[in-house]
Chain A
Amino acid sequence: MANVLEVKELSKQYSKVLAANKISFTIGKGEIFALIGPNGAGKTTTIRMISTLIKPTAGNVLVDGHSIISEPDKVRECITYLPDEAGAYKTMTGKGYLKFMAGIFADTKNQADEFVNRASEMSSLGERLDEKIASYSRGMIRKLLLSRAVMTRPKLAILDEPTSGLDVINALEIRKMIKKLAHEDGMSFLLSSHNMLEIEYVSDRVGIISGGILHTVGRIDELKERYNAANLEEVFEMVVNENEVP
């Protein structure tokens, strides 16, 4: 499986805090990779560096062969990023928002229309798409943003807490959608979540990060076996406790 993402010894130093320390991992084509860790572990910093939002202090990331340092514009053409607790422009309608974002990614009007149609269908918001986003519930906004994130069929979709704010049924739908897009359409995903059940259900491989260090990476069944744990939650607890700084 060819690698869509290669993270090589990625580090980020904020004045006194080393938020990410030589992080390395890869994501193959059509693979769903989840980065999990406690609050302040360095997940968001790592994701922001991969998304070209902040520059690394050391190391590099290649997305479809393009470096985030030397070719950030090319990288942005290959990825989409959905931040945790992200909102949308409240004065726009759902459709207006999709059109605006499609206009940013598409090169032609036809391509933009194609993106909007795909996102409209995936969001399953129906006629509500013609209403102002200000009237949407949190779950509806999340569905709109998720469909926006995958409408361009990016090589790598980076989703921070993809199902936060969604009810069980909607969360299930989204997980199924992610799996389908990865395994049938070959789209790669980098997820971050606190929901271990979700990660266990949806991810192919997992990386556990804490204190800015990526401690372990592997398939879920491998990790469970390695740590002699019944589920991912137990693995997570053991890894985090093992590496806790006193």
Chain B
Amino acid sequence: MKFLNLLKKELRELINKQMIIGLVITFAMLLAIGQITSSVMDDVGSDTGTVNICDHDKTDYTKQLIKAVSDAGFEVKELEGDSSDRAQLLQDLDVENLIIIPEGFTKEVTESGKSGVIEKISSMQSSSALASLNDKSSAAVEIMENTTKQYIMTKNGLTAEETALIDSPLSINEVTVVKDKSAAISSETISSLISTQSMVIPIVVFILVMFTSQMIITAISTEKIDRTLETLLSAPVSRISVLFSKMLAAAIVALINAAIYMLGFKGYMGSFLEGEIDASVIGEALTVNDIMKDLGLKIGVSGYVLVGLQMFMTILVCLAVSLILGALVNDAKSAQTVLMPIMVCAMIPYLVSMIYDINLLSPAVRTLLYAIPFTHTFTAMNNIMFGNMTLYWGGLAYQVVLFIICMFFALKIFTSDKIFTISLNFGQKRKLKKANK
């Protein structure tokens, strides 16, 4: 009954209006960002769009080129205007991109045997990758180039079949093999799909680690600073139950948060996972899920249970480490400082795992990274996907050992005088000693 009373109090402290509002906003934002990104990607992916062309040559040949672009599904806008100041030209024509076919272009291509020169002007308004993808001029220029290529080849007496053969002399059937399963798709496509899918886990883990640690550090340090811990520990309730009520409440709240973040990210990622891969990549349209299933890379229920287990262990390690760090705090300032080591330990594997495959790094770097307990959580999804179960279980065992060690020290601090005497403020201690002298 007393433990329940303590647990209820801890939960009430942790689950407050701010936390609920924050959670709802994050969830809604993830869904909204998912929708926006998905619609932008659809826009980028579509082949239609306006292409602005200034034709100064005005020959039958250039008209044929423009028609080819138009036939490919682009909306072509023919404009008139000229200025050596290209910025001024775009401004005058009120466009953001422009293709200029200069006077004499047809003559150069058809008679002189030289390469024709086409000018492509793009106005750069942001460094965003999606912004530059929205420019349709590049695709239009490519169509013009192919049309010219075909014209030259036909002019030199090649048949349509020969022209097509020169255009694509090799047909590559790419097959990717994972363990004993295979699928007709390039390994680059698979790896980009996996990196998109497994992006969810590191973000959730990072948020979870930071959130859990902050919760327990704040819970312990506030009680120490407000001296409510002294009142509580002099009351007829065991120190262990005070400690475990805090840990259990933090674990419950962290798991609720993890579940909601996961749901939010699932909604965010949904559009990518259900998306179809371009038929030209694999010959027939398939969803990402189908391919993952074919290659045995799709994580089933048991896989998700293992990911969950790893996450739960991570939360426990966080709680144990934070208990020790929280006990070191004597004022609000140091409460922020002690979070630093956890932040660094979460940040390093988070960033590294987003850029590199940790298992492919040099042994020294790998050992260093694996010494950080959170690295195992970041790599769990990949290890389960590719069947590296020794690494997975090894990581989990390491976290269990670390948890036991940290809990041993946490209990030692909480069941001794140390909880009241231990401090991080070495500088202050020295000052105090000097003042007393």
Q: Which residues from chain A sit less than 8 Å from chain B, CB to CB?
A: 14, 40, 48, 51-55, 73, 76-77, 79-89, 91-92, 96, 100-101, 103-105, 145, 158
Complex-state Cα separation, A47 to B77, whole angstroms: 88
Complex-state Cα separation, A14 to B421, whole angstroms: 9
Which of B232, B238, B420 is in CB contact (< 8 Å) with A54? B420
A87 near B227 with CB under 8 A, answer: yes
A86 near B228 with CB under 8 A, answer: yes
Contacts of B234 in A (CB 8 A): 51-53, 76, 79-81, 158
Complex-state Cα separation, A73 to B238, whole angstroms: 8
A91 near B228 with CB under 8 A, answer: no
Nearest-neighbour CB distance to chain A for B55, whole angstroms, equals 72
A89 near B9 with CB under 8 A, answer: yes
Known: A83-B230, A86-B230. A104 touches B2 (CB 8 A): yes
Q: List residues 226-245 of chain B with CB under 8 A from any CB of chain A.
A: 226-228, 230-238
* Residue B5 at the chain A interface, CB threshold 8 Å: yes
A48 near B237 with CB under 8 A, answer: no
Known A54-B420, A86-B230; 8 more pairs at CB < 8 Å: A48-B230, A51-B230, A54-B421, A76-B236, A77-B236, A83-B227, A86-B226, A88-B226
Nearest-neighbour CB distance to chain B for A155, whole angstroms, equals 12
Residue of B with least CB distance to A55: B417
Complex-state Cα separation, A145 to B235, whole angstroms: 14
Q: Which of B1, B225, B231 has the most CB of A within 10 A?
A: B231
Tier of interface size on chain B: 20 to 34
The number of inter-chain residue pairs (CB within 8 angstroms) is 75
Closest A-B pairs by Cβ, 6 of them: A87-B226, A103-B5, A81-B234, A54-B417, A51-B234, A86-B227
B436 near A40 with CB under 8 A, answer: yes
* Residue B12 at the chain A interface, CB threshold 8 Å: yes
Complex-state Cα separation, A126 to B237, whole angstroms: 29
Contacts of B232 in A (CB 8 A): 104
Q: Enumerate 28 A-B pairs (CB-CB under 8 Å) in ascending A order.
A: A14-B421, A48-B230, A48-B420, A53-B234, A53-B420, A54-B420, A54-B421, A73-B236, A73-B238, A76-B234, A76-B235, A77-B236, A82-B231, A83-B230, A84-B227, A85-B227, A86-B228, A86-B231, A87-B226, A87-B227, A88-B226, A89-B228, A91-B13, A103-B1, A103-B2, A103-B5, A104-B5, A104-B232
Q: Is the interface of B mostly helix, strand, loop or mixed?
A: helix
Complex-state Cα separation, A96 to B8, whole angstroms: 11
Q: List residues 190-247 of chain B with CB under 8 A from any CB of chain A.
A: 225-228, 230-238
Contacts of B390 in A (CB 8 A): none
B231 near A81 with CB under 8 A, answer: yes
Contacts of A76 in B (CB 8 A): 234-237
Contacts of B13 in A (CB 8 A): 89, 91
Which of A86, A88, A104 is in CB contact (< 8 Å) with B237? A104
Complex-state Cα separation, A110 to B222, whole angstroms: 31
Complex-state Cα separation, A40 to B233, whole angstroms: 23
Contacts of B5 in A (CB 8 A): 100, 103-104
